[in-house]
Copies of this chain bind each other. A is one copy, B any other.
Amino acid sequence: MSKKERQQLLLQIIADNPFVTDRELTRQLKVSIQTIRLDRMELGIPELRERMKQMAEHSYDQVRSLPPDEVVGDIVDLQLDKSGISIFEIREEHVFSRNGIARGHYVFAQANSLAVAVINDEIALTASADIRFVRMVRLGEKCISKAYVRSLAGRRGKAEVDVFTYVGEEMVFQGHFVVYRSAAEEYSEGGSRSADRH
């Protein structure tokens, strides 16, 4: 096997198992550990620990913004059964890498989370929604969602919530949500009142 072939194979192996040590690589490629290390140097592949660190940092950044808990976006104001405001910054993880436009479901998720959070019941579940993406949202933009409870039917009933999301002065999204309350685990989209932050 030529040097080039070996290095291609090495790239391949590390690509689909980044947790492999140099020692394991010597076994798979049948060359000395020094050769492995020279190859890594030439290919600019960092050592195992550095690779793990980078993955951990990357995921840590993601975890801070991806939904690790019930709510997408930081709720900064909440008047139960009345209104609420949340802020969500569009970051690298939320956009199409090709054009830097936010994936719609993140914009949707922020609004949906807020609509559920604003309802003052043990269990609140989204039943349906009518949504409109008014304009695209770009990387780095800060989305401010405002939710208003429009109607509250009796116990175990429906609530209607309107959510508007803005970037600065511009409205980028609007949605009308119908949320079931207290009807524990009867309809889709869970989320209880204990959901406040991650």
* A128–B128 touching, CB < 8 Å: no
Interface residues of A in 173-198 (CB under 8 A from B): 173, 185-192, 194
Please name the residue on chain B nearest to A178 by beta carbon: B132
A186 and B128 alpha carbons, distance in the complex (Å)? 27
What does the 1/0 interface line of A106-118 toward B look like (CB < 8 Å)? 1111001000000
* B101–A189 touching, CB < 8 Å: yes
Known: A56-B59, A59-B58. A190 touches B101 (CB 8 A): yes
Please name the residue on chain B nearest to A128 by beta carbon: B132
Q: In the complex, how many angstroms separate the beta carbon of A68 from the nearest chain B beta carbon? A: 9
A107 and B71 alpha carbons, distance in the complex (Å)? 16
Q: In the complex, how many angstroms separate the beta carbon of A110 from the nearest chain B beta carbon? A: 9
Please name the residue on chain B nearest to A184 by beta carbon: B99
A127 and B172 alpha carbons, distance in the complex (Å)? 11
Q: Does A83 sit at the interface, judged by CB under 8 A?
A: no
Interface residues of A in 125-158 (CB under 8 A from B): 125-137
A137 and B130 alpha carbons, distance in the complex (Å)? 20
Copies of this chain assembled into the complex: 2
Q: In the complex, how many angstroms separate the beta carbon of A185 from the nearest chain B beta carbon? A: 7
Known: A126-B133, A130-B130, A133-B126. A188 touches B107 (CB 8 A): yes
What does the 1/0 interface line of A61-86 toward B look like (CB < 8 Å)? 01100110010100000000000000
Cβ contacts A to B, 14 pairs, < 8 Å:
A18-B56, A51-B56, A59-B62, A67-B105, A96-B191, A102-B188, A103-B109, A104-B109, A104-B112, A104-B189, A105-B106, A128-B132, A134-B188, A136-B187
A sample of 16 more A-B contacts (CB under 8 A), given A49-B49, A128-B133, is: A55-B55, A56-B59, A59-B59, A59-B62, A66-B66, A96-B190, A98-B194, A99-B185, A99-B190, A101-B188, A102-B189, A103-B109, A125-B136, A127-B132, A128-B132, A172-B188
